[in-house]
Structure formats: C-alpha cells, structure tokens
Structure 1
Amino acid sequence: MPTDRRIVLFDLFGVIALHQRPGALAEMAARCNAPADAFADTYWAHRLPYDAGQCSASEYWTAVLRSLSLPVDADRIEELRLADIDSWSRVDDRMVAYVQSLRDVAEVALLSNIPSDHADAFLAAQPWLHRLDHVAFSGKIKAAKPAPAAFHHCAVAMQAAPADFLFVDDREENVRAAQTTGMNGHVFTQLDELAATIDAWLQTSTAHGTTELDLSGILEFPGAAA
C-alpha cells in the first residue's frame, strides 16, 4: 500500500544526462586500430556485467580487447576507460534545474545503469547529485535495470512502498519493469510532457492520501527511445 510519500525516481542517461557522445565509439576504435562496427558490437556485448558491478573496468576492457584480438596492456585500458567516462559526461542543464526544483514538492531520487568508476566520476563532476534524497548506481548496488532488484533496492533504501514512486526513464522496457514491482511509471520524451505528468501525479497523490492511485489517464507509453 502507498503511504503519503511522493518520490520521483529518475533514470540518468536519456533523461537528465545525455546519451553517449556521437562518434565516441568510433574514436575509441581508432585508438585501437579496430573496425568501428566490430568495436561497437563488442563494447556493448560485454557491457551488462560492467554496468551491474560484476566486473571491474580492467576486466571489462580486457574482455573487449581480447574479443577483438587486440593487445591488452594497462596503458591502453586506462586510455579507453577515461575516454569512455568522458563520452558519457554530458548533462542537460535544463533537466538538472528541473530535477532540483522538484525537491520543493517531492522527494527526488536517481536510479542509473552506470559502472562504478563512471559513477565516481559523475558524482565528482555533478555536485547536485549529492543533494538528492537517494542515488543508486547499478555498479554500486550490483543490480542493473530492468532487473527487479534494482527497483527493490530503491524502495528498501528509502524505506518506502513501491507505490510511493513515480519512475521516469526513456526506455519503455525499464518503465514496465518498474511497474511490475508496484511503482508508477512514465516514459520520458520531453520536459514539458514530464512536468505535466508529475504535476498531475502529485495532485492525485495529495488528493487520495493513502489510497491506490489511478494513473491510467496520465501516463503514456510511446516507443522506447534509442
């Protein structure tokens, strides 16, 4: 059962932060003298264990390089690791401001699929993250969306019921996974639509108190974003 708490749980990349910088993987491939398409395929094929904290950056990049039959050495791994972190470092300043403004009317938390070393860099570069009510990075909590464990972590960590959450992500598969745990969900496409959805959800939450919420007329599920 929901309580009277209102928690907006945000995804990071594709919502508050931008997706990987275009051309970044091709640049990394060029550093290794590897075909760009093969490098990108291998980069993603090995990514989930890295995101979920099941392997280190060194283990991840070793697997990528070996899969491409490329030499493995510490300097190359570190060069690729830093280039990778930099490629995921951009934020949408308008969204950052909006997320911070929400703390006047709701609790605000973050759940992101991101390796542990990337998370450390993001926390150092984005001090506003430290002002949120909870921050969960997959590489730190050892669970990555859409696994239910990632959503359960947030509910347990915040001592809240799943129905207290409105989860916002640009990927429909993640939103639907959150819903299976009892959370409310919204597929993000643009700020204006999101703001209207959150305003309506907060008003409905306030009006209904601890009763179940009917958000069927509020939430939309367009096709999953890239």
Structure 2
Amino acid sequence: MTATVLFDLFGVIASHQTSEGKDLLVRTAGAPAPDFWDAYWALRPPYDRGEVSGPGYWREVAGALGTRFDDERIARLVAADLDGWSGVDAAMVGLVEELAARGRRIALLSNIPEELACRYEERHAWLGHFEVRAFSCRIGHAKPEPGAYRWCQEALGDRPDRILFVDDREENIRAAEAAGMRGHLFTTPDRLREHLAREDAPQSPR
C-alpha cells in the first residue's frame, strides 16, 4: 500500500482559471491576449518560488509588454489573479476529507505564489488535513524541478516509492517518477478512487 498520497492543488483539488477570469485579467492589463499570456507564464516561475512579490511580478509583466502599470492597476491585477485561481472541486475536497478520516497520510505540493497560498489558508479549513503542505513560494522549488519532490520526500521522511503523486500534468508526473515516486495522472475523482482502491488491495501471493 502507498503510505502517502501527495496531491497537486490546481487541476486536481482546485480549479484552473475560468475563461471569465482569464478575460478579466487581459482586460485589466489592457494588452493583446497572446502577448499577455506569453509574459504571464514566462515570468511566473520566480513568482511561484517566492522570489518576487505580487506587485513585483506585475511590474515585470508590464515591462515585458512594453508598458507600465500604476499601483491601482497592479492592485486590480493581483485581485483578479487571486480570484481566478480560487475555485475548488467539492468532490475532491470530499475525497481529501474521506482519506483523512480513514487515517491515510496525505500531503500537498503546489506551484503557488504567497498571496494565493495565504488566501487558501484563510478560506479552506480542509488544508489542515495535509501533514505536509509544500507551497512552492515557501520551499523555493516549483514543479517539475527535482528539488520540489526531494523536499517533499525529506519532509515526509519516507521512501519515495511509498509516495503516490497525483497531478493533472504529465511533465509533473514524469518528474515525480524520476525522483522515485509513483505517479497517477489525474483525470476525474472516480478514476483516482479506483486507482487508490487498487493500490490498497492485498497482493496475491506468487
């Protein structure tokens, strides 16, 4: 049996940005959408690793777009960005709570900036079920960097092969497996339940 289930957050328990949320960001920035998203994602890793603050990140995005955002626009961009990443999947929250109630060891590894991590901690008591919460902004590593998985293994104090990593992105799963963990590419809560049931089933003697 897998000792620990290490969950990704966005795309597994929490939702990715909605179309409405994305549109609001683009409108607030006042930039062409393709250019905006190129800058948004290219500059995101240092923000996720906690190397730059929200306002600092948005100033860098403005620079990449060849413009400047004043403090008021930056505040609106920070707020819109946080709102866009704030949705959660009730079915997955329920599964997390079920696993915790059964005594399953669970942990969390998420690429997330500090402002968003604080919002989740303020609003979601279910985060308390995770024995380890590895937020990229606080551990200094972001998936799929090997250091992110190594940090989790060391924090959990268990062999990597006894950790099942659940994520919706193949490159993150491959990186976890390269670190010696087992991986499950998340698609639906039901398929994850089935996978966990197979992992927990007694193995037949050979």
TM-score normalised by the chain length of structure 2: 0.93
Q: What residue in structure 2 maps to residue 218 of structure 1?
A: none
Aligned to 1:135, what secondary structure does the other structure show?
strand
- 1:45 corresponds to 2:42: yes
CA–CA separation in structure 1 for the residues paired with 2:7 and 2:21: 25
Q: What residue in structure 2 maps to residue 192 of structure 1?
A: 190
Q: What residue in structure 2 maps to residue 217 of structure 1?
A: none
Q: What residue in structure 2 maps to residue 119 of structure 1?
A: 117
Unaligned residue ranges in structure 2 (runs of 5+):
none
- 1:172 corresponds to 2:170: yes
Q: What residue in structure 1 maps to residue 139 of structure 2?
A: 141
Q: Contact 1:53/1:140 (CA < 8 Å) preserved in 2?
A: yes
Q: Which of 6, 10, 13 matches 2:10?
A: 13
Question: Quick one: percent identity of the two aligned structures?
Answer: 43
- 1:70 corresponds to 2:67: yes
Structural mapping, 1:197-208, within 5 Å:
197-204=195-202
CA–CA separation in structure 2 for the residues paired with 1:142 and 1:129: 20
Q: Contact 2:2/2:199 (CA < 8 Å) preserved in 1?
A: no
Q: What residue in structure 1 maps to residue 152 of structure 2?
A: 154
Q: Contact 2:59/2:68 (CA < 8 Å) preserved in 1?
A: no
Aligned to 1:109, what secondary structure does the other structure show?
strand
CA-CA distance at 1:105 after TM superposition:
4.3
| Between structures 1 and 2, the one with greater helix share | 2
Q: What residue in structure 2 maps to residue 58 of structure 1?
A: 55
CA–CA separation in structure 2 for the residues paired with 1:78 and 1:55: 15
Q: Which of 129, 132, 138 matches 2:130?
A: 132
Q: Contact 2:49/2:140 (CA < 8 Å) preserved in 1?
A: yes
Evaluate the alpha carbon distance shift between residue 189 and residue 39 of structure 1 in structure 2; reply closer, same or farther with a 3 A threshold: same
Once the two structures are superposed, residues 99-122 of structure 1 have per-residue CA deviations (whole angstroms, 9 ceiling, x without a partner) of 110121420111011111111111
CA-CA distance at 1:5 after TM superposition:
6.6
CA-CA distance at 1:161 after TM superposition:
1.4
Q: What residue in structure 1 maps to residue 89 of structure 2?
A: 92
TM-score normalised by the chain length of structure 1: 0.85
Q: What residue in structure 2 maps to residue 216 of structure 1?
A: none
Q: Spell out structure 1 runs of 4+ moving beyond 4 A.
A: none
Q: What residue in structure 2 maps to residue 28 of structure 1?
A: 25
Aligned to 2:73, what secondary structure does the other structure show?
helix
Q: What residue in structure 1 maps to residue 181 of structure 2?
A: 183
CA RMSD of aligned residues (A): 1.6
Q: Contact 2:7/2:109 (CA < 8 Å) preserved in 1?
A: yes
